[in-house]
Amino acid sequence: MSLTIPSHIPLEHFKRFVLSMADDELVLGHRDSEWTGHAPILEEDIAFSNIAQDEIGHALVWYTMYMELGGPSPDEMGFLREWKDFRCCHFVTYPRGDFAYTVVRQYLFDVAEQVRLQGLLSSSVDALRSVAEKLLREESYHLLHSQGLVERLGDATPESHERMQRAVTEAFPQALGIFEELEGESFLVEAGAFVGNAALRSDWLKEVVPVLHKASLQAPVQLEAENVKVLVSPHEGGRRGQHLEYLKQLVDDMQQVYRLAPQSQW
Amino acid sequence: MDQKKQHQAEANTSIDRTAEVWKALEEVRDPEIPVLSLVDLKIIQSVEVAEDRVKVEMVPTFAGCPALNMMRNEVVAKLQSLGFEHVDVEFTFHRRWSTDDLSEEALKKLRAFGIAPPVRLTLPEAENHIERLQRAVAQPVVCPFCGSTETKLDAFFGSMLCKQLYFCMTCQQSFDRFKPL
Ligand SMILES: [Zn+2]
């Protein structure tokens, strides 16, 4: 074990947190890579290929930390693990859908990444601070890109509006599942390692709801003075390993490539 | 030789050896931007030499950069050619990598190579990164060919993770800009 964390933080819970970050990145990276050669315009084809590469690179950063905490190697984590052992949220596992869904999912995820990483900048764990600092720089480009697309497509034409609205309605309850409480997270919050999913979810709502609204897109929420009341229930279960079949198919595809060429690089 | 002198001699050899390593690493070029070495790019920030061992830490530019492994192999080969038995190259995510740390000299070389250098992100601290980046991205980009500021962003993401595609309205040429990070 080459990375030590303060002794009052239970290692098992800390590792679970790192794993949830890693798996989200890896799985969404794979969904994004499915657009290579299929995006509606070349510019977006390149964009989503780049984003996929970034996300998979970020997964590697988190898996490296996981290994430094005494876990298996990144290769084993990505390519030799049972799908049931992933701890990603359901949200990143859904099929890529149409381009509107992809844009909306990426935007909702990018904001979640911003609030998660921003929160880690003040973590009591040095390693989390330096990783957050590193990834935040790259993730910011993703957000500028996806937010730009949401703002443009939200009310560009009646058809684009209709498709984007449908995507928001579908993706919103799924996205809330990003903030599913992790087993033992209260220990981490108490130790100042991270701010906790409840706080992150509220930061996320404060950011996404007005942006969607400005783009003429309605989120399933009710605004009550300072509070945002969510009217749908989140798609949870992923953080406990209760996954949808979609993840099984994705992991099969991903690992098949590895079995054919085990020396292939990230 | 008395003991003190011997220690001194060993220390000098180690210093010479370290200097030799740095010099060799300056010859390892970025595969896509051959005018810059991995040292210029601040990908290599620390080197430790002990007898026949050398340890190098590499700080990735973009975490997902596909050239990282190629760079690592080149570093290993280079240092083996200096006669080190054990070459240990490690990627670290615990050190900062930012285009703000590139030297003026490195930026000049980029421009001469036809790539618009990144603008500095060092803006007031109170802002969060996304705002800093937004302002940096909004600044005019100077065409590396003709010096015009009449340029426009063609694609937010370019052919590589570290580049964006621009077009110069004055000289009618496309060019890459190194992303400020
Ligand atoms: Zn020009």
CA distance A56 to chain B (A): 6
DSSP 8-class letter at B45: E
Contact B137 A57 (CB under 8 A): no
Give how many domains chain B has, as a whole number. Answer: 2
The tokens of A99 are what? 């381009």
Assign A226 a pLDDT band (cuts: 50, 70, 90). Answer: confident
Instruction: Write down the pLDDT at residue A265.
Output: 56
| Stretch B67-74: mean pLDDT | 90
SS3 (DSSP) at A133:
helix
The tokens of B142 are what? 């100077």
B119 and B164 within one domain: yes
Assign B2 a pLDDT band (cuts: 50, 70, 90). Answer: low
Residue B47 φ/ψ, nearest 5 degrees: -135, 135
Flag whether B100 is in a domain.
Answer: no
Instruction: Write down the pLDDT at residue B5.
Output: 67
Q: What angle do CA B70, B71, B72 make, to 5 degrees?
A: 90
pTM (predicted TM-score): 0.88
Assign A263 a pLDDT band (cuts: 50, 70, 90). Answer: low
Flag whether B96 is in a domain.
Answer: no
Provide CB contacts within 8 A for B67, sequence distance 6+: B30, B31, B32
| Stretch B29-50: mean pLDDT | 93
Average confidence score pLDDT of chain A? 92
Instruction: Write down the pLDDT at residue A92.
Output: 97
From A63, which residue of chain B is nearest by alpha-carbon distance?
B93
**Amino acid at the residue B95:** R
B21 and B83 within one domain: yes
Flag whether B102 is in a domain.
Answer: no
Binding-face residues of A in 75-114 toward B, CB within 8 A: 114
Tell me the H-state helices in B35-158.
68-80, 104-112, 129-138
B76 and B128 within one domain: no
Q: Does B128 touch chain A (CB under 8 A)?
A: yes
Residues of A in contact with B130 (CB under 8 A): 114, 140, 143-144
Residues of A in contact with B66 (CB under 8 A): 53, 265
B127 and B87 within one domain: no
| Stretch B82-96: mean pLDDT | 88
Assign B56 a pLDDT band (cuts: 50, 70, 90). Answer: very high
Instruction: Write down the pLDDT at residue A71.
Output: 95
CATH code where residue B61 lies: 3.30.300.130
Flag whether B66 is in a domain.
Answer: yes
Going by C-alpha positions, the residue among A212, A223, A216, A179 that lies closest to residue A104 is A212
CA distance B127 to chain A (A): 12
* Residue of B9 and A41 predicted with greater confidence: A41
Burial pattern A3-35, b for ≥16 Cβ within 10 A else e, equals: bebeeebeeebbbbbbbbbbbbbbbbbbbbbbb
Within 10 angstroms of residue B57's Cβ, the number of other Cβ atoms is 17
**Amino acid at the residue A84:** K
Residues of B in contact with A51 (CB under 8 A): 157
Q: Does B7 touch chain A (CB under 8 A)?
A: no
Flag whether B99 is in a domain.
Answer: no
B70 and B9 within one domain: yes
Highest-confidence segment of A168-177, A251-260, B10-19, B124-133: A168-177
Interval B113-166: pLDDT, tens: 999 999 887 755 546 777 777 777 778 899 999 999 999 988 778 777 888 889
Partners of B29 in the β-ladder: B37
Provide CB contacts within 8 A for A66, sequence distance 6+: A15, A18, A19, A22, A72, A74, A77
Beta strand A227-230 pairing with A221-224: antiparallel
Residue where a domain stops, chosen among B59, B91, B123: B91
The rounded Å distance from CA B102 to ligand 1 centre is 24
Contact B129 A140 (CB under 8 A): yes
Residue where a domain stops, chosen among B91, B121, B143: B91
Flag whether B125 is in a domain.
Answer: yes
Instruction: Write down the pLDDT at residue B150.
Output: 94
B118 and B68 within one domain: no
B120 and B80 within one domain: no
pLDDT at A7 over 50: yes
B86 and B114 within one domain: no
pLDDT at A1 over 70: no
pLDDT at A259 over 80: no
The tokens of B145 are what? 């060919």
Residues of A in contact with B153 (CB under 8 A): none
Contact B98 A137 (CB under 8 A): yes
A-B CB pairs within 8 A amount to 83
From A58, which residue of chain B is nearest by alpha-carbon distance?
B63
Contact B63 A135 (CB under 8 A): yes
The whole domain housing B155 covers: 108-178
Contact B93 A265 (CB under 8 A): no
Interval A41-97: pLDDT, tens: 888 888 898 899 899 999 999 999 999 999 999 999 998 999 999 999 999 999 999
Complex ipTM, two decimals? 0.77
**Alpha-carbon span A6 to A126, nearest angstrom:** 10
Residue where a domain stops, chosen among B91, B120, B142: B91
Q: Go through the domains of chain A in sequence order and give each one's CATH number.
A: 11-260 (1.20.1260.10)
